[in-house]
Amino acid sequence: MATAALDISMGGTWSQIATGGPQWSAGFSASGVPSGRFAYDYGTGDRQIQQVYQTAFNIAAGATLSVDLKGGTGEVDLVRGALNLSRVRWVCVEITTPGTGVKLQVGPDGVANAWQGWFSAVASGFYDIVGHTLSKNDPYGVWGSVGAGTKILAVKNPTGAAIAGTLVVAGY
């Protein structure tokens, strides 16, 4: 079992399992504080994933990173396959340049073809503010599906300076 070089926020590791797919296992943060143990195996059922998308970003002041969860703008997963998610199980955003006044807005917030995710609507004003790390986990499929018209995950920078970070999305 080979371990990939991905360790973001949850203090865990990705592994390549025998069936050829990704497996995530998380336990304790770097400080030793329990972070909420969860694991995903390969597949399309509860607590399962088949694709992991990861990107480092540097979002300019006032700009938006729009990730097409169906891969329509060339997104690929960790094994370089075309991203084509039907369900999202985990989203993690980590700002690598945190500080006073540094924040991102993650969520639909009225973006065209927005993925609703954990929000009650896709209208303007529906987003989470991230000052350092945001991790959302949905092992049992409460969030709903990703579709042709509901596929954009938006990460907005409402500040006056560029913000760098990492985004990870896992699902099937």
Inform me whether the pLDDT recorded for 55 exceeds 70: yes
CATH number for position 147: 2.60.120
Number of structural domains (the chain) is 1
Positive/negative CA dihedral, 37, 141, 8, 85: positive
**Within a domain: residue 7?**
no
Domain range for 103 is 53-171
CA-to-CA dists, residue 145 to 93, 127, 151, angstroms:
20, 18, 9
**Within a domain: residue 42?**
no
**Within a domain: residue 88?**
yes
Q: What is the pLDDT of residues 113-142, one digit of tens each?
A: 999 999 999 999 999 999 999 999 898 989
Listed range (20-29, 84-93, 129-138, 150-159) with the worst mean pLDDT: 20-29
pLDDT at 122: 95
pTM of the model: 0.81
**Within a domain: residue 15?**
no
pLDDT bin (cut points 50, 70, 90) of residue 157 is: very high
